[in-house]
Amino acid sequence: MSIPFATLPKVSLHCHLTGSVLPGTVLELARKHGVPAPDGRGAHDLYDIDSHEDLDEFLRVYDLVGRVMRDADDFRRTTYESLTTLGAEHGVLYREIFVSPPSHPGVAYRTILDGVRAGMREAKADTGIDSRIIMAINREDTPAAAFDLVEQVIAHRCDEVVGIGLDYAEIHGPPGLFHEAFARAGRAGLRRTAHSESGPPGNLAILLDVLGCTRVDHGYHVVDDPDMTARCLDAGIVFTCTPVSSDIGRYSGSGNGKHEKIAAMVEAGLRVTIDSDDPPMFGTDPTNDFRILHEALGYDTEQLLAFTRTAVDGCWLDESDKAALR
Ligand code: ES4
Ligand code: ZN
């Protein structure tokens, strides 16, 4: 029996706005602002993933995309496209999108926030998709810059921003460096998550003990340590896994198409959700990530819907808004 991957309901907890910009949009915005686009040969080659040596090189392309987003309308448009073309059209009912102000140097926080919110409203009106924002700290920046970002989030507090994240290359920014920014966010009632993909494995304990994270983005190391697995089971930590994005060996150490870590996490009974990370940049989309797991691990409709239920339970909406997704 064939599974209708595209229409299965999905809830998206690990998708970056900058990583969602469609190739044609990158070129149009670069032209509009007279700034350089990534050095692709055309719209389809812009994100040629095979041409990147490592995560750092990928992130420098990502930075170039961030630099073409300059005014509120750019943020409106890219948010709208993420939520519709890369969201609602794939059965996504709700998305918590990572927005990274540090990826847009010279752009005011307020400009970003207002533009993203406009895109969210428009996408909801046109397709029904609901969404919230997670403001992401760039761990390659200083702890002081991270703290300033959290201060901005608090100064411009609004219902749409439900939490903070920590992204960019883990190797260049150990999580403990950002304890003050995360503590400030915690005191203000913001939820907290952080990327941990490449490790070292001890980073997971820092996320839980020092940063106060209730979610972990990727987090595959959890299954290498039985004590940490037990702890995360007990605490109900939610892991936002990204099959295609994490299957690029030189970024994450996997790359064999078997998705063994995700399988082990599911097998251990951990709370796992599935997403696409940076869909066009990794040549994927929410439908494809579900399909890939079905093909690699035999997951059936019931298991795929269980990922969605976990994402509904683990998302940062109020209980009454969660009920509308069930
Ligand atoms: C990212 Cl570390 C990492 N990997 C993929 N996409 C990203 N966006 C921001 N940080
Ligand atoms: Zn990510």
For the segment 167-188, what is each residue's pLDDT rounded down to a tens digit? 999 999 999 999 999 999 999 9
Task: Check if 278 has its Cβ closer than 6 Å to any atom of ligand 1.
Answer: yes
Beta-strand ranges (E) seen in the chain are 10-16, 92-99, 130-138, 161-167, 191-196, 215-218, 238-241, 271-274
Is residue 82 within 8 Å of 17, Cβ to Cβ? yes
Is residue 198 within 8 Å of 220, Cβ to Cβ? no
Q: What is the pLDDT of residue 228?
A: 98
Q: Among residues of the chain, what percentage have pLDDT more than 90?
A: 87
Task: Check if 52 has its Cβ closer than 6 Å to any atom of ligand 1.
Answer: no
Backbone φ and ψ of 105, nearest 5°: -60, 140
Q: What is the pLDDT of residue 254?
A: 61
Q: What is the pLDDT of residue 30?
A: 96
The ligand that comes nearest to the alpha carbon of residue 275 is 2
SS3 category, 314: helix
CA separation for the pair 63, 13 (Å, rounded): 21
Q: What is the pLDDT of residues 28-68, one digit of tens each?
A: 999 999 998 887 666 667 888 777 778 888 999 999 999 99
Shortest-distance Cα residue to atom 8 of ligand 1:
168
The ligand that comes nearest to the alpha carbon of residue 52 is 1
The pLDDT-based confidence of 1 (bands split at 50, 70, 90) is: low
Q: Which residues contact 14 (CB under 8 A, 6 or more apart)?
A: 98, 217, 240, 241, 242, 273, 275, 276, 277
The ligand that comes nearest to the alpha carbon of residue 242 is 2
Which residues are paired to 277 by β-bridges? Answer: 15
Write the burial class of residue 298 (CB in 10 Å: 0-12 exposed, 13-18 middle, 19+ buried): exposed
- Pick left, alpha or beta for residue 189 (phi over 0 → left; psi -120 to 50 → alpha; otherwise beta): left
CA separation for the pair 188, 304 (Å, rounded): 35
Task: Check if 299 has its Cβ closer than 6 Å to any atom of ligand 1.
Answer: no
Q: What is the pLDDT of residues 66-86, one digit of tens each?
A: 999 999 999 999 999 999 999
Ligand 1 mean position, distance from CA 323 (Å): 31
Q: Among residues of the chain, what percentage have pLDDT more than 70?
A: 96
Average pLDDT score over residue span 119-135:
98
Task: Check if 195 has its Cβ closer than 6 Å to any atom of ligand 1.
Answer: yes
Pairing assessment for the beta strands 10-16 and 130-138 based on DSSP bridges: unpaired
Shortest-distance Cα residue to atom 2 of ligand 1:
168
* Token representation of residue 73: 């309308």
Shortest-distance Cα residue to atom 3 of ligand 1:
168
Look at residue 5 and tell me whether its pLDDT is greater than 90: yes
Q: What is the pLDDT of residues 295-322, one digit of tens each?
A: 999 999 999 999 999 999 999 999 999 9
CA separation for the pair 16, 242 (Å, rounded): 12
Average pLDDT score over residue span 8-37:
96
Look at residue 15 and tell me whether its pLDDT is greater than 90: yes
Q: Name the residue of 54, 58, 62, 139 whose CB sits within 8 Å of the most ligand 1 atoms, as the mutation to test its pocket.
A: 62
Look at residue 251 and tell me whether its pLDDT is greater than 80: no
Distance in Å from the first CA to the final CA of the chain: 25
Q: Which domains does the chain have, with CATH numbers?
A: 10-318 (3.20.20.140)
Is residue 281 within 8 Å of 62, Cβ to Cβ? yes
Q: To the nearest whole number, what is the mean pLDDT of the chain? A: 95
Look at residue 196 and tell me whether its pLDDT is greater than 80: yes
* Token representation of residue 160: 């749409």
Q: What is the pLDDT of residues 148-164, one digit of tens each?
A: 999 999 999 999 999 99
Task: Check if 96 has its Cβ closer than 6 Å to any atom of ligand 1.
Answer: no
* Token representation of residue 40: 């692709």
The pLDDT-based confidence of 225 (bands split at 50, 70, 90) is: very high
Q: What is the pLDDT of residue 253?
A: 54
Catalytic site residue from 81, 96, 170, 197: 197
Query: CA 115, 116, 117, 120: dihedral to nearest 10 degrees?
Result: 130
Active site residue 197: yes
Average pLDDT score over residue span 280-297:
96
Q: Which residues surround ligand 2, an ion (CB under 5 A)?
A: 277
Average pLDDT score over residue span 181-199:
96
> Which contacts of 176-179 are long-range, i.e. CB under 8 A and separated by 24 or more positions?
176/206, 176/210, 176/211, 177/139, 177/143, 178/137, 178/139, 178/143, 178/146, 178/211, 179/210, 179/211
Q: What is the pLDDT of residue 86?
A: 98
Task: Report CA-CA distances (Å) from 47 to 5, 40, 62, 219, 282.
Answer: 24, 7, 9, 25, 7
Average pLDDT score over residue span 257-273:
96
Task: Check if 169 has its Cβ closer than 6 Å to any atom of ligand 1.
Answer: yes
Shortest-distance Cα residue to atom 9 of ligand 1:
168
The residue with greater pLDDT, 225 or 251, is 225
Angle, vertex CA 131, rays to CA 19 and CA 248, nearest 5: 30
Q: What is the pLDDT of residue 51?
A: 73
Which pTM does this prediction carry? 0.97
